[in-house]
Amino acid sequence: MTDALEDIQSGPDDRNIPLRQVGVVGLRYPVTVWDRSSERQQTVGTFKLTVDLPHQFKGTHMSRFVAALERHRGEMSLETMPELVDDLRTRLDAERAHVRMEFPYFVRKAAPVSGVESALEVRCWFVGDAEEREALFTLGVDVPVMTVCPCSRAISDRGAHCQRSHARISVRFRELVWIEELVEIAEAAASAPLYPFLKREDEKWVTERSYDNPVFVEDLVRNIAARLRDDARIQWFYVEAENEESIHTHNAYAAVGSADLE
């Protein structure tokens, strides 16, 4: 009979330093997420799974994080993410647990004139946090869009400089908000949407639409914030925008959160 193996992680530590987060990061795992048009979408999540560690313990049990994820494998949603967070707290006897899953999500896009369809990749994330209360669920998206500089257009005899921009939106909600809805809000707030596939007539439409609808990076976050503020389903939000400037070596940035509007 094999002797019991020593459990070093559960041993004492005398430095009197508690740790807020210990766990695993960079763990890639196949998952299924909700899709507004086709109900489910297969993707790959990159996970950060952590719990707090009291000062008296030397370490945590890393294998238990993977075991918890394996138990909840498959669907990740506003319903299952809190269950995973609570499972981590229970398995590791922790007061706090944190889960962040980042994943690529594909939205079907029809070109504006030709109607040709293609798939736009949007970077998304789910975050679950739990203490001695119900776990919080946060949905986030990073939407690529196009912006045209209002100043450049106003002062130039010909044309205006434009850039690809990123609108990053994080929300907590009372009722379900789809990823696709946040993508549509971001695109409506910009000068024009981006498309993976465009024919010449579509390129003309995007060019002219963006020129007719110039927005600063500040406009982009304010436009998005106004839509989220007026949506009764949204409980909390934070919006960031970053313009990959085409005539500067730096990027332009702006951010606003629901707390700023109270």
Number of Cβ atoms within 10 Å of the Cβ of 69 = 22
CA distance 167 to 227: 14
DSSP assignment of 46-79, as one string?
Answer: EEEEEEEE-TTBS---HHHHHHHHHHT-EE-STT
Q: Identify the structural domains of the chain with CATH numbers, from first to last.
A: 19-261 (3.10.270.10)
pLDDT of residue 38: 86
Residue 62: CB partners within 8 Å, gap ≥ 6? Answer: 23, 24
* Tens of pLDDT, residues 223-252: 999 999 999 999 999 999 999 999 999 999
CA distance 123 to 140: 8
Cα Rg, the chain, nearest whole Å: 22
pLDDT above 90 covers what percent of the chain? 68
Q: What is the mean pLDDT of residues 17-35?
A: 90
* Tens of pLDDT, residues 31-61: 999 999 989 999 999 999 998 876 565 556 6
pLDDT of residue 107: 97
CA distance 101 to 138: 10
Number of Cβ atoms within 10 Å of the Cβ of 261 = 11
DSSP assignment of 180-225, as one string?
Answer: HHHHHHHHHHSSEE--S---HHHHHHHHHHHHHS---HHHHHHHHH
For 15-24, 53-62, 63-72, 151-160, which range has the lowest pLDDT when averaged over its residues? Answer: 53-62
Q: What is the mean pLDDT of residues 126-144?
A: 87
| 199 contacts 259 by C-beta, under 8 angstroms | no
pLDDT of residue 1: 47
Q: What is the mean pLDDT of residues 57-83?
A: 80
CA distance 99 to 161: 40
Q: What is the mean pLDDT of residues 92-115?
A: 93
- Helix H, strand E, coil C: the string for 145-164 is EEEECHHHHHHCCCCCCEEE
For 80-89, 97-106, 121-130, which range has the lowest pLDDT when averaged over its residues? Answer: 80-89
